[in-house]
Structure formats: structure tokens, C-alpha cells
Amino acid sequence: MTDPITGLIFYVVFLFSTTLHEAAHAFVAKLGGDPTAYHGGQVTLDPRPHIKREPFGMVILPLLGIVATGLPIGFASAPYNPQWALRYPNRAAWMALAGPASNVVLMLLSFIAIRAGAAAGVFEGPPTVRFGEVVFSAAGGVWTGLGLVLGILFCENLLLATFNLLPLPPLDGSGVVPLFLSPAVAARYQQTIMGNPALTIVGMLVAWQVFGKLFQPLFLIAVNLLYPGQGYH
């Protein structure tokens, strides 16, 4: 069972990462001509407007997940104008990509910080790794706490980016698909695939089945890049 301090760090990292994810969606939509989320106050790193929109997905469910499993499980959303998305499928696709891209940026920043700590001799790879536990510090003190935060930031954002990029509705990856289609095909795709409630349910069921098999090898690849030569398996 996760101790309360670690659980709190997991939740704060989840809240920050999810807030940035939704703010990125809202910001890119505004740049593309859809101010819906902007007028909803979601072009912000203040989590309160995002919590107000999805209190269950951003507060209740992740806290229950931490208590039950040690890990936060949740969701959030940014509103957009469907007519705008149909009119400008490429702009809508960039909006969809912006959320996972923000998580990739956070993952890379934590990667760089961990590697810098390793080069300075305050961080090293632990004997074994698991989700959230990828940094060890023999220096102790503040370095142990910082290593824990950076490790959780790295792992959670790797997970958020990977899961959301699965090309299954209603995940962001399905919204990115129009970038690779002609305008006419993209419009039909949006109407028949992305706007279909039944496919949304099927997509989530498939995503949960596929993700576990996909993420573990990807996680091992990521931590072996973090610590070359360690040979985690």
C-alpha cells in the first residue's frame, strides 16, 4: 500500500499533468479559431476550472484509485465546438495532439533532470524498477524527495502520453488520425467514428485491454534509456 506522502505526490503530479494536458488542448483550439474552452476558463494552469468541469475525474476517482491501488486513475476534458472540428479537421487534430504532446514535454524535462542528477552523482538507478520508483539517491535528504517527485513525474507522463495516443475513440489518438487523411475522408471519419457513442464504449474497452500489454515493455525501454547499461527487464 502506498504511504500517504507518496500518495499525495502521485495525486499532485496527476493534477498538474492533467491540468497542463487540458490547457494545451484549450490553447491550441483557441489558436485554431475555436474559443470554446478559452471562454470556459481552461487556457490556464490553475486546476480549479478543470476540476469544476470534471470533479469526479480529477478529484474523487484519482483519490479513490490511490487508496485502492496506490495509483491515481482519472480523466478530464476540454470543451470544443464540433462544427468547428468538422470544418477544420486538421486544426482539430492538432488540438487533439496538443494534450499528449504536453505530457511528452513533461516526461522529457523530468528525464533531463534525472540524467543531470545522475551526472552529478546524486541520483542513480535502483536495483529494480517499478512504476513511480525509478530514481534512487544515496545522498539522502532533499535529494531522496526530489528523486521521488521526478520519478513519478517521468512515469505518470509517460503513461498519460502513451494511453491518450492510442488511436481509439474517445482518446486523443483517434482525434490525431485526420492529420493523415484527406479533408473529405477526415470529415467522414469524424462523423462516423469520433461521433459514435457505441464506438466510444468499445474503444475504451479495447484500450484497457491493449494498454497493459503495450505499456510494460515501453516502460522498460524508457527506464533503460534513462540508465544506459542497467539492463532492466
**DSSP secondary structure string, 77-135?**
-----HHHHHH-HHHHHHHHHHHHHHHHHHHHHHHHHHHHHHHHTS-B--SS-BTTB--
CB-CB contact of 137 with 148 (8 Å): no
Domain span including residue 63: 4-226
Q: Looking at this protein, which amino acid is placed at residue 43?
A: V
Residue 134 domain flag: yes
Band (pLDDT 50/70/90 cuts) for residue 187 is confident
Peptide bond into 170 cis (omega under 30): yes
The answer on pLDDT for 186 being more than 90 is no
- Tell me how many degrees the CA angle 6-151-111 measures, rounded to the nearest 5: 160
Mean pLDDT of 84-112: 96
pTM of the predicted model, to two decimals? Answer: 0.95
Q: Which of 156, 171, 205, 207 is nearest to 13 (CA)?
A: 156
Q: Give, in order, the Cα–Cα distances in Å from 15 to each of 44, 46, 48.
A: 13, 10, 10
The answer on pLDDT for 193 being more than 90 is no
CB-CB contact of 49 with 40 (8 Å): yes
Residue 232 domain flag: no
Residue 220 domain flag: yes
Residue 233 domain flag: no
What pLDDT score was predicted for residue 190?
Answer: 85
The answer on pLDDT for 164 being more than 70 is yes
Residue 231 domain flag: no
What pLDDT score was predicted for residue 196?
Answer: 85
What pLDDT score was predicted for residue 1?
Answer: 61
Residue 27 domain flag: yes
The answer on pLDDT for 167 being more than 90 is yes
Band (pLDDT 50/70/90 cuts) for residue 183 is confident
Q: How many domains are contained in the chain?
A: 1
Residue 73 domain flag: yes
Rg of the chain on CA atoms, in Å: 19
